[in-house]
Amino acid sequence: MVRSGQADVMLAGGAEAMLWFGGIKAWEGLRVLSPDACRPFDAARNGMVMGEGAAVFVLEEAGHATARGARALAEVAGFGMTADAGDIVAPSVEGAEAAMRAALADARMASGDLGYVNAHGTGTLANDRTECAALRAVLGATAGRVAVGSTKGAHGHVIGATGAVELLACILALRDGIVPPTAGCTAPAADCGLDIVTGTARAAPIGAALSNSFAFGGLNAVLALRAA
């Protein structure tokens, strides 16, 4: 809306508080919760952990920010979205891949421009395997040179606020040149085939990043970001 001129400035974000009996039991009924910890992309991963949180961003046209003396933290360069309409819970490699490719195309980026991907990375067997395959397809020959991680091992799956909370990690990676580690992942699964950041944060100059959000029903959204 900002890019098309419909608005000069707007607020966008998400908030979620699902840690109550009904909320937890609903997700427990889907048999996707881990009994102990969230371990995205780890060989021993066994499910997701729920969290709570919120994040809100000021989105505005660059000239509008300059005029009010605001310092840009990052540029939202592109966006991609797909709706697979295939299965309510089973993720699709093709849908995730298409959303990432759409975001890169909208941003006029190539996969080689990326320094970091904040993966959806829930810690479930199905999501992590599917997302790794989609990322390998999108990144191609650069797959081993792009830092990939999930912050859900630290803050859990924040449901409707997840995309907003994870955007914070991307902005800080772009601003500070620090890629956060994938908490809980000590031994990436053998079939992952990506450069998963584990153990400690990694210092690296990041010029561009992707933030993946893949929801039930095959509703996939990806943001492409550039350093400000």
Residue ranges of domains in the chain, CATH in brackets: 9-227 (3.40.47.10)
CA 88/CA 108 separation, integer angstroms: 31
Assess whether pLDDT exceeds 90 at residue 160. Answer: yes
Q: Point out the least confidently predicted range of 11-15, 83-87, 135-139.
A: 83-87
The confidence score (pLDDT) of residue 89 equals: 86
The pLDDT tens digits for 169-197 are 999 999 999 999 999 999 999 999 999 99
Q: Give how far Cα 172 sits from Cα of 23, 209, 225, Å.
A: 30, 11, 11
The confidence score (pLDDT) of residue 135 equals: 98
The confidence score (pLDDT) of residue 196 equals: 98
Work out the pLDDT band at 109, boundaries 50, 70, 90.
Answer: very high
The confidence score (pLDDT) of residue 120 equals: 98
The pLDDT tens digits for 16-60 are 999 999 999 999 999 999 999 999 999 999 999 999 999 999 999
Tokens of 146: 């792009």
Assess whether pLDDT exceeds 90 at residue 137. Answer: yes
The confidence score (pLDDT) of residue 88 equals: 84
Please list, in sequence order, all residues whose beta carbon lies within 8 angstroms of the beta carbon of residue 6, skipping any fewer than 6 positions away. Answer: none
